[in-house]
Structure formats: structure tokens, C-alpha cells
Structure 1
Amino acid sequence: MSLICKPFVFVRHGETPLNRDKLIGGRTDVPLTEEGERQALAAAPLLSTWNWSGIAVSSLQRARRTLELALPGAPHTVVDGLRERDWGLIENRPISELPPYESTPPWGESWETFSSRVTDSLNGLLEQYEIPLVVAHSGVFRVIRYYASGTPYGDRVGNVVPMWISPGKTEEEWQIVPLTESLLVR
């Protein structure tokens, strides 16, 4: 599988109590902290400069609330396939206990199943919209990073840090950089 070669913007949800406490969140449906709400509000000026062709958001409340605060009243589609990976029995455990991404946690979702679900969802959006905005989770970003660099490993994307995801001339040449207003004016 691969991602359709079209640009889009990715935003990870705001901080949650589990992020703050360095715990594995996965499918656990938690709200934003006050800091997470501030992060979402702080992204509003940049995100509102663009007339998005489509906006998609994970079905989990932390992503939906981030979008609600960053772009109040914006038309959007809830895409269940963009929800975070199910980490099974290790959800709510310390992040230090996170196994390699290629491993399947007990009673959890395999990397193959997760990345396939996310890829199908992203490709559906890329087929439908010119430059969509996607509001989801760090695991979804790891799938994107996998296509861009060949590995899901690397620094965790920041909470509510909009990222410009842009293909190069080939499927292997992706650019991932923080979004700036100048990138949206292309």
C-alpha cells in the first residue's frame, strides 16, 4: 500500500490527561486538558486562513474537540478509520512500556491492521479533496511518517502542531514540515 501523492495538512489533537501523564492512550476516549484546549485555540489563527476543501476528524472526542476549538462550526466529516491504534491490555500503561510498533500488543491491533485502516481512510480523503485537513492522533502520524521515510519511528508529533505533508516527484519523496501561512498560499 501507499499514500496517494497529494498534499494535505495533519494536526494531532490537543493534550489529554494521558499525554500529560505519559501514558498510552490508544482507543481510550479521553477529553482534552485545559492546556489541550489552549493549544487548539492557539492554532485557530493559522488554520482559519485557509478555505479547506475538506476536513476529516477522528471519531475520538479528543480529536473532535480540538477541531471544534480550532475551527468552530467548520463543516467536517468524522472518519472512524482515523482513530488511534488499539493498544489492548497496555492502554493506560506508561509510554516506557510501549512495544515496537511492528509488535501486536495483547488483545490489541496489529501494526498491519492499523496502518492499513489509516491508509485506506487517508486515501479516501485524498481522492475526494484537493488539500484536506486531517485532525487525528500521533499513531496516525506514524503511519504517514512510515510512507514518508520508511519507518514509523521518530519524535512524537506535537499536540496541535499543524504539519504540511507534501509529496515529491516520486512516492518515496515526501516532505513533512510545520505548516506556515506561506505554504497555504501556493
Structure 2
Amino acid sequence: MTLPSLPQRTFCMIRHGQTTANRDSIVAGATDVPLSDLGREQASKLSSLSWKQKTSLFVSPKMRAKDTCQLAFPGRGFEIHDDLRERNWGEFEGKLVSELPSRHAEPKDGDTWDELLARVHKAISECCAKAEDDTLPVFVCHAGVIRAAMVLAGVGNDAPSAPNAKPLFFLWAGTSHEMTDQLTDSLTA
């Protein structure tokens, strides 16, 4: 599969805070699970970050992402984009994470990796087009969505799962994206 290009601009992705399923090592891609107490704390800590640049917030429809965004950006409006939802693992939903097959597997009643890549590309492209030129698009979403974005950007084909509640910047460097967890032009702690 030839991967489509992502928009030629910098954007940020934040995985939701820890969920009860993350805590218990349970697969919950399509399952709507709440944040754990630690996850709520992680998300709340994001509110202390000072964003130097105006941001546009785009969020998965899953409760864990919406709650993270509300805690991280209190009082701010955000746009829900359905294609930012996590991968549906079909027959593996509710099972232990250790039982998951490779991401290239095609789980019965679930999403394929290629379907996730196409959906994530569409979401990022549409949201970046909606964000004004002087704003930083910020996506509050899921580990699988971020991994797909990394692959699409060519910055992490075999990267580990994104950490919970930590901004990851996809910096447009003129010819390609570079990924970093620090972007001093946009964020101060």
C-alpha cells in the first residue's frame, strides 16, 4: 500500500489519560471505557501547560478522549471527529492485551490496519484544513491513531505505544515531518 501524504504543517497528538482498561491490560479499542483515577490526574496536569500558539482542538468521540480534553483544556470548545476513534479490535475486544495479534492482522468483526491508516489520514487532513493557518491543530485521541499517524508521517513504523497524556508534536520540517515531545515554539511547561 502506498501511503498518502499528510498535510504539510505541524500538528500535535495527545493520547488520552490512562483508562481502566489500560490499567488492567484489557483491549478496549472500540469499547467506551472511562479514565482511571490516574488517567484523570494525568489529563488534569496537562492544563498547567502554557501553549504559546493558538490551538484548535479535535477529539475522538470516545469518552476517554473527550474527558481528557475537557480536563486538559478546561472551558475550551473542541470539535469531535468520528475518524479519530481507536481501532476496533473485533473479536479481541475485552481480552488481554497480551493476546493481541500484530497490527497487520485482520481481526474478525474489527478494523484492518489499512482501514485505520485511511481513516486517520482522512481525519488529520480534514481537521488540519479546518484549523486556521496561525493555529496548531491538537488531536486528543488514542494510541492506535497516533501509531497510524506516525506511520503516515514516516516517523515511527515500529515505535512503541504513545504514552498517556503527553503531547507529541509532528513538526513539519519543510520536506517531511519529524516527531518530538518538545516544541519550544508552541509549548512551555
The Cα of 1:144 is off from its aligned counterpart by: 1.1
Could you tell me which amino acid in structure 2 is paired with residue 178 of structure 1?
D
Identify the structure with the greater strand proportion. 2
- The answer for the alignment partner of 2:76 in structure 1 is 74
Deviations 1:14-52 (A, max 9, x none): 000111111211010011011000000111111555421
Could you tell me which amino acid in structure 1 is paired with residue 169 of structure 2?
W
2:5/2:153 contact within 8 Å kept? no
Could you tell me which amino acid in structure 1 is paired with residue 66 of structure 2?
R
CA pair 110-47 structure 1, distance change in 2 beyond 3 A: farther
Could you tell me which amino acid in structure 2 is paired with residue 106 of structure 1?
K
- The answer for the alignment partner of 1:20 in structure 2 is 23
TM-score by length of 1: 0.91
TM-score by length of 2: 0.89
Q: Which runs of 5+ in 2 are unaligned?
A: none
* 2:166 paired with 1:164: no
Q: Which runs of 5+ in 1 are unaligned?
A: none
- Identity across aligned pairs (percent)? 31
- The answer for the alignment partner of 2:159 in structure 1 is 154
Between stretches 126-135 and 26-35, larger displacement belongs to 126-135
Deviations 1:52-85 (A, max 9, x none): 1x21000000000000111112111011110000
- The answer for the alignment partner of 2:54 in structure 1 is 51
Aligned residue-pair number: 181
1:9/1:179 contact within 8 Å kept? no
The Cα of 1:167 is off from its aligned counterpart by: 2.1
- The answer for the alignment partner of 2:32 in structure 1 is 29
Could you tell me which amino acid in structure 2 is paired with residue 27 of structure 1?
A
- The answer for the alignment partner of 2:117 in structure 1 is 115
Could you tell me which amino acid in structure 2 is paired with residue 158 of structure 1?
P
How many Å separate the matches in 1 of 2:65 and 2:90?
A: 20
* 2:42 paired with 1:42: no
Could you tell me which amino acid in structure 2 is paired with residue 93 of structure 1?
K
Could you tell me which amino acid in structure 1 is paired with residue 67 of structure 2?
R
How many Å separate the matches in 1 of 2:50 and 2:7?
A: 23
The Cα of 1:95 is off from its aligned counterpart by: 1.3
1:167/1:174 contact within 8 Å kept? yes
2:155/2:178 contact within 8 Å kept? no
2:130 to 109, 128, 131: 128
* 2:146 paired with 1:144: no
